Every structure is written in structure tokens, then in C-alpha cells.
């Protein structure tokens, strides 16, 4: 009985000593070393648990060093520019040139003032009221009395489509429709330009505001939707005028007027 009591007492003493040692072991807990970010949830939990939290100081990274601007003979040299050696043996900085891209020529929208209507001296044997078209100089003359004529600028046939002859005006039309000839449609289609079989009259119509048909031919004196072409050889043989000019001429002549193309 005495032996059992002694063993029990020894067990209690051993348990007490181990508990004391355990309490002593964790009485002064070592600090927890964490990163500078104190906003992380697990760091906040540590701060509320009685544990001492020590943070590492934030390390400041040095600012990048700026490279000194290289100079050559007192003048700054562009960074990265390669040097080239001149015939004199000295180092010279390479010249960087921008690529030169030619700009498209601006679209011409005005005509030369000499092609605007005006009354000029004009000596001819033709009677007043006759129309004479000088295709070389791009002028149309409406003969008047007393050796004068009313002169208009015109566009004429392009190379290969020039012609000359004498006809009469056989028909007049306001804002005429346009029906391109089949040979014109085929010719333009070969170039990649596709013409309509027929186009109603209007501001977009190539015949413009007025048309005066010459004899039984396909040629006409007509207006245009491209007034900047006046003074040039651009048509397929027709005589084109500005819309305001062809309208003025239209009012001054009638069916049966003689037209001479030279």
C-alpha cells in the first residue's frame, strides 16, 4: 500500500514539473517576423493574439541612374546614333533622316480664269449666231455682230477622239438622260470602269444641265458634273462646258444653229 502511494505521489510530481516546464517554455514567446504589409488578414490575427509582431523595414530601391547625354564637339548626339567616319578621319554623329513620302497632288477644283465667258474681238466670215469650236485652244465662239464673239472655255476630245466637221443643232434638252454607247461601255469596262446602261438627268449626270445634239452623230455640246476639266482634252469627242455656261449658250441659240468644229 505504501509502495502504491509513493508511485502515485511521484506521478503527480512529474506531471506538475512537465506542466511547469511547458508554461516556462512559452512564457516569453519569440517575436514573429513578418513583411511590411500589415494589412494581410493573417498578420491582423497575430496582432490580436498577444504575440509580438516585428516588421522588416521597407527597403527603398535606388532610382535608376540617368545616362548622361553624349556630346560631340559641344553638340548633343542622339542616344543610340552610330558614328560614321568622314573622309577627314574624324568621328561624326550619324544623321537620322525621316523617310520622305510624296503627297498626292491636290484635286483640281478650279478652272483657269481665261476659260470664263467673255466678249472678245473675233474676225470671221461666218454669220452672227454661228458657233465655232476651236478644239486646239479649248474655246467655243458664238459669233456676234461688229467683229466680236462671245467666248466660252470648253473641254474637248482626249487624244484619239479628236474630230472636226460642220453640223447643225438638231435637238436641245434640259437635264438630259445619258445612254452611253455600247462601244464606250466596252471600252471603259476593259479599263475596269463600269458604266451604267442608262442614267437619269441630274447634277450627277455627266451631261450636266443642258445638251445640244449635233446632226445625226453621237456628239453633243453639253454641261458637266466635273467643271474643273474645262480647258482639257478629256471627253470621248463631245464638247463639254460648265453648267452655267452651257445654260447661257442654250438660251442664245436654237435648233438649226450652224456648228463648226475645227
Is the model more confident about 137 or about 29? Answer: 137
> What's the confidence (pLDDT) of residue 221?
98
> What's the confidence (pLDDT) of residue 212?
98
C-alpha cell at 93: 554623329
From residue 3, give the alpha-carbon distance in Å to each of 8, 14, 49: 9, 17, 46
Q: What angle do CA 92, 96, 97 make, to 5 degrees?
A: 130
**Looking at residues 195-212, what average pLDDT do you find?**
93
**Looking at residues 208-232, what average pLDDT do you find?**
97
**Looking at residues 107-122, what average pLDDT do you find?**
87
**Looking at residues 3-29, what average pLDDT do you find?**
52
> Is the pLDDT assigned to residue 250 strictly greater than 70?
yes
CB atoms within 10 A of CB 225: 15
> Is the pLDDT assigned to residue 159 strictly greater than 60?
yes
Is the model more confident about 131 or about 48? Answer: 131
Distance CA 211, CA 189 (A): 25
Identified catalytic residue from 140, 156, 238, 259: 238
Domains and CATH numbers, the chain: 113-261 (2.40.440.10)
Residues 234, 237, 239, 243: is their CA dihedral positive or negative?
A: negative
Question: Do the beta carbons of residue 122 and residue 147 sit within 8 Å?
Answer: yes
146: CB partners within 8 A, 6+ apart: none
Distance CA 233, CA 111 (A): 14
> What's the confidence (pLDDT) of residue 47?
53
pTM equals 0.59
Could you read off the pLDDT of 66-105 as tens digits, one per residue? 655 555 445 554 544 444 444 445 554 445 444 444 455 5
CB atoms within 10 A of CB 9: 10
Residue 33 phi, psi dihedral angles, 5° rounding: -90, 120
Question: Do the beta carbons of residue 176 and residue 250 sit within 8 Å?
Answer: no
Q: Checking phi first, is residue 237 left (phi over 0); if not, alpha (psi -120 to 50) or beta?
A: left
132: CB partners within 8 A, 6+ apart: 124, 126, 140, 141, 143, 149, 260, 262
> pLDDT confidence of 262, banded at 50, 70, 90?
very high
> Is the pLDDT assigned to residue 185 strictly greater than 50?
yes
Question: Do the beta carbons of residue 212 and residue 172 sit within 8 Å?
Answer: yes
Q: Is 255 a catalytic residue?
A: no
> What's the confidence (pLDDT) of residue 8?
55
Question: Do the beta carbons of residue 242 and residue 116 sit within 8 Å?
Answer: no
> What's the confidence (pLDDT) of residue 108?
56
Identified catalytic residue from 222, 241, 245, 261: 222
Local structure of residue 199 (DSSP, 8 states)? B
C-alpha cell at 173: 434638252
Q: Is 167 a catalytic residue?
A: no
Amino acid at each position: 500500500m505504501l509502495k502504491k502511494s509513493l508511485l502515485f505521489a511521484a506521478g503527480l510530481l512529474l506531471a506538475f514539473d512537465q506542466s511547469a516546464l511547458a508554461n516556462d517554455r512559452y512564457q516569453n514567446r519569440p517575436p514573429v517576423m513578418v513583411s511590411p504589409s500589415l494589412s494581410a488578414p493573417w498578420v491582423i490575427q497575430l496582432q490580436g493574439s498577444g504575440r509580438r509582431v516585428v516588421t522588416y523595414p521597407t527597403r527603398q530601391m535606388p532610382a535608376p541612374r540617368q545616362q548622361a547625354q553624349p556630346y560631340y564637339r559641344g553638340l548633343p548626339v542622339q542616344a543610340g546614333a552610330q558614328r560614321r567616319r568622314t573622309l577627314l578621319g574624324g568621328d561624326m554623329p550619324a544623321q537620322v533622316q525621316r523617310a520622305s513620302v510624296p503627297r498626292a497632288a491636290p484635286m483640281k477644283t478650279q478652272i483657269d480664269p481665261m476659260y470664263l465667258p467673255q466678249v472678245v474681238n473675233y474676225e470671221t466670215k461666218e454669220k452672227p449666231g454661228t458657233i465655232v469650236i476651236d478644239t486646239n485652244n479649248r474655246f467655243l465662239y458664238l459669233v456676234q455682230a461688229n467683229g466680236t464673239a462671245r467666248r466660252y472655255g470648253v473641254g474637248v476630245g482626249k487624244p484619239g477622239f479628236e474630230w472636226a466637221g460642220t453640223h447643225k443643232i438638231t435637238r436641245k434638252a434640259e437635264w438630259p438622260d445619258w445612254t452611253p454607247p455600247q462601244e464606250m461601255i466596252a471600252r471603259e469596262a476593259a479599263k475596269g470602269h463600269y458604266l451604267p446602261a442608262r442614267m437619269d438627268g441630274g447634277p450627277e449626270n455627266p451631261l450636266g444641265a443642258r445638251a445640244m445634239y449635233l446632226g445625226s452623230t453621237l456628239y453633243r455640246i453639253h454641261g458637266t458634273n466635273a467643271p474643273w476639266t474645262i480647258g482639257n482634252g478629256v471627253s470621248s469627242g463631245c464638247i463639254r462646258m460648265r453648267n452655267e455656261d452651257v445654260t447661257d449658250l442654250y438660251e442664245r441659240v436654237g435648233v438649226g444653229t450652224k456648228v463648226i468644229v475645227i
